[in-house]
């Protein structure tokens, strides 16, 4: 890896967007040995089974429910070995449980602390994820509960973003269900398409993904490898607590807002 994963110009570009807006960035880790397919196949053997997800990923509707996602009949190791033709998507989760990947994650995220911490506070719960995707793979519309930079290492993909505050796309009760263990895939309406902001990335490019912002992903016509490095903030934990608190209020017949719940959490000494 280059001694610095980002140029000063890229750090400045992130600073113009963080934390609310998606941003196209450049990086220098695309050729890192840990991001090559043979290394990732070996990593899949070392990870705990609960740290791996895989399923069919081509020709999926954008609003498919989590429990409707089909499987191909291949195990994860067969899927990675046959990724060019498997029509699948593999997610290696919390790769920071492996010392080499944990070091890579810490080295990269340390370089953006001067941008992140003055705005959203201490970077908390650092985690790493790797996506290995067949040509044409689709990740349906969903949101992430953390701040995220996605680094493209192989192939290319387009991520289409929608405003995080769009309560039509993500009603308050959906957040509440998610933070109580519910799914994060969202429903889809074709009339929402014009609201999207597509950003395409190729090897050496990255995207800052805002927390809670709806987005979906489409891989181009070759195998894709992407690294996501994520973190949380004190506010993000307060928001999750507020959503769980909202759920309890709603069960009592009330209709709280996210802001009201956050205030209530603080009044109760939980925020």
What is 85-111 written as a DSSP string? TS-EEEEE--GGGSHHHHHHHHHHHHT
Q: State pLDDT tens for residues 171-189.
A: 888 888 888 888 889 999 9
Q: Which of the four pLDDT bands, split at 50, 70 and 90, describes residue 105?
A: very high
Q: Which residue has the tokens 């044409």?
A: 136
Nearest to 186 by CA among 166, 200, 210: 166
Rounded to an integer, what distance in angstroms lies between the CA atom of residue 50 and that of residue 68? 19
Q: State pLDDT tens for residues 73-90.
A: 899 999 999 999 999 999
The pLDDT assigned to 123 comes to 97
CA distance readout (Å), 136 to 24, 53, 86: 21, 18, 11
Pairwise pLDDT comparison (78 vs 238), residue with the higher score: 78
Say if residue 71's pLDDT is above 70.
Answer: yes
Q: State pLDDT tens for residues 106-120.
A: 999 999 999 999 999
The pLDDT assigned to 79 comes to 97
**Is the distance from CB of 166 to CB of 210 less than 8 angstroms?**
no
Say if residue 263's pLDDT is above 60.
Answer: no
The sign of the dihedral angle between the CA atoms of 229, 235, 240, 243 is negative
The pLDDT assigned to 88 comes to 96
Rounded to an integer, what distance in angstroms lies between the CA atom of residue 128 and that of residue 270? 28
Residue 191 in tokens: 């009339």
The pLDDT assigned to 258 comes to 53
Residue 232 in tokens: 């949380």
Q: Which of the four pLDDT bands, split at 50, 70 and 90, describes residue 249?
A: confident
What percent of the chain stands above pLDDT 90? 70
Q: State pLDDT tens for residues 136-159.
A: 999 999 999 999 999 999 999 999
Average pLDDT, integer, range 58-83: 89
């Amino acid at each position: 890896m280059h001694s610095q994963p980002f140029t000063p110009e890229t750090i400045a570009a992130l600073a113009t967007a963080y934390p609310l807006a998606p941003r196209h960035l450049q990086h220098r880790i695309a050729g890192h040995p840990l991001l090559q397919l043979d290394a990732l196949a070996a990593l899949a053997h070392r990870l705990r089974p609960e740290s791996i997800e895989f399923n069919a990923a081509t020709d999926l509707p954008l609003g498919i429910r989590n429990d409707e996602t089909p499987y191909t009949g291949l195990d994860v190791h067969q899927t990675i070995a046959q990724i060019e033709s498997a029509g699948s998507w593999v997610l290696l989760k919390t790769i920071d449980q492996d010392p080499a990947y944990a070091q890579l994650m810490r080295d990269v995220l340390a370089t953006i602390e001067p941008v992140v911490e003055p705005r959203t506070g201490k970077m908390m719960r650092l985690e790493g994820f790797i996506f290995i995707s067949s040509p044409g793979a689709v990740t349906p519309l969903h949101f992430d509960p953390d701040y995220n930079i996605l680094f493209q290492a192989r192939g290319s993909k387009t991520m289409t973003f929608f405003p995080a505050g769009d309560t039509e796309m993500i009603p308050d009760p959906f957040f509440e269900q998610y933070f109580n263990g519910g799914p994060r895939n969202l429903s889809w309406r074709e009339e929402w398409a014009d609201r999207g902001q597509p950003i395409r990335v190729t090897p050496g490019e990255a995207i800052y993904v805002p927390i809670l912002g709806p987005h979906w992903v489409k891989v181009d016509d070759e195998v894709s490898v992407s690294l996501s490095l994520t973190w949380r903030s004190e506010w993000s934990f307060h928001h999750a607590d507020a959503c769980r608190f909202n759920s309890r209020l709603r069960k009592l017949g009330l209709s709280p807002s996210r802001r009201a719940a956050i205030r209530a959490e603080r009044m109760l000494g939980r925020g």
